Amino acid sequence: MSATLCAMLSHSFGPDDLHDLDTAASREWLCTNGLGSSASGTLSGALTRRYHSLLTCATRPPVHRMHLVSKMGETLRTTAGTFELDTNVYPGQVHPEGYRHLSEVRLRPVPTFRWRAGDAQLDKRVFMPHGEQATVVVYELVSGCDEAELFLRPMLTCRDFHGLTMQNPGLAGEAGEEEAGHLVFRPYPGIPDIHLYHDGDFHPSLVWFRNLEYPVERERGLPFREDHWSPGVVRLRLKRGVPAAVVFSAGRLPERPDGAKLLAAEVARQKSLAGPFAGSGGLVEALAIASDAFLVKRDEGQSILAGYPWFEDWGRDAFISLPGLALTMERPEVAVSVLAELGQHVREGLLPNRFPDGAAEPVYNSVDAPLWFIHAVGRYLEATDDIETVEELFLPVMEQIVGSYVRGTGFGIAMDEDGLIDQGEEGCALTWMDARVEGWVVTPRRGKPVEIQALWHNALRTLECLHHELEEPDRASKYAELADLVARSFRDRFWLQDRGWCADVVDDPDHGGRTDASLRPNQLFAASLPHPLLGPDEARQMVDTVRARLLTPRGLRTLASNDPRYVARYEGGPKSRDAAYHMGIAWPWLLGAYCDALVHAERGWTPQVVKEVRHLLKGMETHLTEAGVGSISEIFEPEPPFRPVGCPQQAWSVAELLRIAAECSRHS
Distances in Å between the Cα of 453 and the Cα atoms of 368, 434, 490 are: 10, 17, 7
pLDDT, one tens digit per residue, over 297-354 is 999 999 999 999 999 999 999 999 999 999 999 999 999 999 999 999 999 999 999 9
Indicate yes or no: pTM above 0.85. yes
- 141, containing H or E segment: strand 134-143
pLDDT at 3: 41
3-state SS string over 569-634?
A: CCCCCHHHHHHHCCCCCEECCHHHHHHHHHHHHCCCCCHHHHHHHHHHHHHHHHHHHCCECCCCCC
Say if residues 31 and 40 touch (Cβ distance below 8 Å).
Answer: yes
Alpha-carbon distance 607 to 600, whole Å?
A: 14
Give the pLDDT confidence score for residue 172 in this predicted structure. 67
Give residue 176's pLDDT: 77
Paired with 393 in beta bridges are: none
Q: Residue 374: helix, strand or coil by DSSP?
A: helix
Band (119; pLDDT cuts 50, 70, 90): confident
Share of the chain above pLDDT 70, in %: 98
With 70 as the cut, is the pLDDT of residue 6 above it? no
Average pLDDT, the chain: 95
State the average pLDDT over residues 97-108.
97
Q: Tell me: the pLDDT tens digits for 189-222?
A: 889 999 999 999 999 999 999 999 999 999 999 9
Q: Kindly state the DSSP code that residue 110 receives in the 8-state scheme.
A: S
Residues 6 or more apart whose CB falls under 8 angstroms from that of 482 comprise 406, 419, 460
Instruction: Indicate if the pLDDT at residue 110 is higher than 60.
Output: yes
pLDDT more than 90, % of the chain = 91
Name which of 259, 379, 392 is nearest 325 in CA terms: 379
What DSSP letter does each residue of 302-342 carry, written as one string? Answer: EEE--EETT---BHHHHHHHHIIIIITTT-HHHHHHHHHHH
Each residue of 213-264: pLDDT tens digit? 999 999 999 999 999 999 999 999 999 999 999 999 999 999 999 999 999 9
Indicate the pLDDT class of residue 461, thresholds 50, 70 and 90: very high
Cα distance between residue 649 and residue 623, in whole Å: 11
Q: What is the mean pLDDT of residues 269-280?
A: 94
3-state secondary structure 387-435: HHHHHHHHHHHHHHHHHHHHHCCHHHCEECCCCCEEECCCCCCCCCCCC
* Rounded distance between C-alpha atoms, residue 514 and residue 505, angstroms: 9
Q: How far apart are CA 443 and CA 637, in angstroms?
A: 18
Nearest alpha-carbon partner for 347 in 388, 414, 397 = 397
pLDDT at 190: 83
Judge whether 87 and 45 are in contact, CB under 8 Å: yes
511 confidence band (pLDDT: 50, 70, 90):
confident
pLDDT at 488 over 90: yes
Domains observed in the chain = 3-271 (2.70.98), 276-415 (no CATH), 448-533 (no CATH), 535-668 (no CATH)
163-180 per-position pLDDT tens digit: 999 999 888 667 777 788
Rounded Cα–Cα distance for residues 250 and 36 (Å): 13
pLDDT in tens, 532-554: 999 999 999 999 999 999 999 99
Q: Of residues 513 and 330, which shows the higher confidence score? A: 330
Determine how β-strand 147-160 pairs with β-strand 225-239: antiparallel
**pLDDT tens digits for 614-624?**
999 998 999 99
Whether 83 and 76 have beta carbons less than 8 Å apart is answered as: yes
